[in-house]
Amino acid sequence: MPPTLTTVIEEARLAAKAVVEYAGGLANPTLRLGVTGLTRAGKTVFITALVHALTKGGRLPVFEAYNSGRVARAHLAPQPDDAVPRFDYEGHLRAVIEERRWPRSTRQVGELRLAVEYQSASGRARTLTLDIVDYPGEWLLDLPLLGQSYAEWSSETLRLSRREPRARLAAAWHAHLATLKPHEPADEAAALEAARLFTAYLKDCRDERYAMSLLPPGRFLMPGDLAGSPALTFAPLEVPDGEPAPAGSLAAMMERRYEAYRHVVVRPFFRDHFARLDRQIVLVDALAALNAGPAALRDLESALAAILACFRAGRRSWLSNMFRPRIDRILFAATKADHLHHVNHDRLERILGRMAERAIARAEFAGAAVDVVALAAMRATREAIVTRGRGRDRLPSIVGVPAAGETSGEETFDGETEAAMFPGDLPDDPAALFSGKAGAFKGLATSAAGETDYRFLQFRPPLPETNGGATPTLPHIRLDRALQFLLGDHLA
């Protein structure tokens, strides 16, 4: 879409803000780290693990500034915006350490500022300020709407909903849609019913059996403080692109509400939290999509491409720093790697690399540095070799405490007992997975006894490790490598 007056004004405002921050940042550098990820990708757990590791002294051998002792201390500092709720670090940590359960799904934006006091390589005492924002992952799906008109969004949403597995979930909504006459006078009851059926369709698509990702608008799935508001009472209609809807018609009303949603909800969300990032980590729960099969994988791939196209990546220069900040490093991270034995981590990285191919190529072309990693911000399992068939098969397995109520085959777990699982091998060739030639990946929930069930087994969070030190640390996989890539050069 061509730039509108609003986008031009917005750009000017952002540039003015960037100049002020640039001047302030010369003395006291601030790094805005964008933690990007769809719902359940692992954002809240990652941020909690990062803060815990930096403030409490985690084991981070690959994070050079930290491991060499140049980081003197890190502490939470007052956040920059008074109007944004604070990230509930203490609450999330308490859940993990004291109650041994995962933090709840995020329902609103939360902001956090971490001050890292360090000694530069030349011996000077410095402070790096790190700003991070957490938010419900569903809301990220709204960013691509910034560039789509109502007619474009309608036709794209309808096109997707006619493909399997979406088509069968859309039946009730499509039946209602067929009764609507977009160019006839607006009818509030019809709009309400369309929005209700469309929302039910989006929710069904998200079910773990289908694990669809591309499901905007995000507030339909996670309304936050907009629950029940008219801004959420719209749905796609069959409307021809480029033809204005007659005044007072159903199509005109839907379009007005869509535009209100874009301007009142999406634009401020983007402007306040994503428009000025310096670094980005893109967290992806590839395993959940793998579990659901090729359609889910392709859907996740499209969602990532559409979302990442909204960010501004590229090589930084003093000029860009001053007027148009850019993301100069992007780390793609496949989360929850502790669900796999480490012999499969390379394959998981290759699958993510394939999934984010388009976004990686674009970022690299613009001059940004990109890396891909398989990580577990909090490692809930350890590894073991399980023997099967009188010792003939030696299976590289993982051992953890499955959450209460989780089942595998006949077994229902009590939330206290450890179990060994053979997670299966990921296919070696990512391309086969996307085309469906390798079949759906069905290994994750194969128990050591050999029976297969297709779900993703959830383990309880790890117990903190004391390792003889005074403060307990949380185990992880490659959190240090992620920190080195994202922050290392700023602590040089």
Window 290-329: residues binding ligand GTP (CB under 6 A): none
Assign 5 to helix, strand or coil: helix
Cβ partners under 8 Å of residue 138, min gap 6 = 38, 39, 215, 218, 219, 221, 222
Of residues 48 and 155, the one with the C-beta less far from ligand GTP: 48
Asked if 93 and 210 touch (Cβ cutoff 8 Å), the reply is no
Q: How far apart are CA 241 and CA 237, in angstroms?
A: 11
Mask of contacts with Mg ion, 319-348, x by CB under 5 A?
------------------------------
List b or e across 401-427, with b for residues whose CB sees 16 or more CB atoms inside 10 angstroms: bbbeebebeeeebeeeeebbbbbbebb
Told to check if 106 binds ligand GTP by CB under 6 A, we report yes
Residue with tokens 């309880």: 460
CB of 134 to Mg ion, least distance (A): 6
CB of 39 to Mg ion, least distance (A): 8
Q: How far apart are CA 137 and CA 47, in angstroms?
A: 14
Of residues 133 and 368, the one with the C-beta less far from Mg ion: 133
Of residues 112 and 177, the one with the C-beta less far from Mg ion: 112
CB of 38 to ligand GTP, least distance (A): 7
Told to check if 458 binds ligand GTP by CB under 6 A, we report yes
Task: Give how far Cα 101 sits from Cα of 45, 94, 95, 108, 396, Å.
Answer: 11, 9, 6, 20, 26
Q: Using the rule CB under 5 A, give the single segment among 99-107, 195-203, 212-220, 229-237 that binds Mg ion.
A: 99-107
Q: Look at residue 336 and give the partner it binds from ligand GTP, Mg ion, none, a contact being a CB closer than 5 to 8 Å depending on partner kind.
A: ligand GTP
Cβ partners under 8 Å of residue 53, min gap 6 = 60, 473, 474, 476, 479, 480, 483
Told to check if 348 binds ligand GTP by CB under 6 A, we report no
| Binds ligand GTP (CB under 6 A): choice among 40, 206, 341, 347 | 40
| Binds ligand GTP (CB under 6 A): choice among 32, 43, 166, 341 | 43
Window 21-50: residues binding Mg ion (CB under 5 A): 43-44
Asked if 238 and 229 touch (Cβ cutoff 8 Å), the reply is no
Of residues 43 and 379, the one with the C-beta less far from Mg ion: 43
List b or e across 16-49, with b for residues whose CB sees 16 or more CB atoms inside 10 angstroms: eebeebeeebeeeebbbbbbbbbbbbbbbbbbbb
For residue 173, with 0-12 CB atoms within 10 Å meaning exposed, 13-18 middle and 19 or more buried, which class applies? buried
Q: Using the rule CB under 5 A, give the single segment among 98-106, 214-222, 337-345, 427-435 that binds Mg ion.
A: 98-106
Q: Using the rule CB under 6 A, give the single segment among 36-44, 237-245, 289-297, 312-320 that binds ligand GTP.
A: 36-44
Q: Using the rule CB under 6 A, give the single segment among 97-105, 319-327, 354-362, 364-372 that binds ligand GTP.
A: 97-105
Told to check if 336 binds ligand GTP by CB under 6 A, we report yes
Of residues 107 and 437, the one with the C-beta less far from Mg ion: 107
List b or e across 458-468, with b for residues whose CB sees 16 or more CB atoms inside 10 angstroms: bbbbbebeeee
Name the residues that contact Mg ion, by CB under 5 A.
43-44, 106
Name the residues that contact ligand GTP, by CB under 6 A.
37, 39-45, 102-103, 105-106, 136-137, 335-336, 338-339, 376-378, 380, 458-459
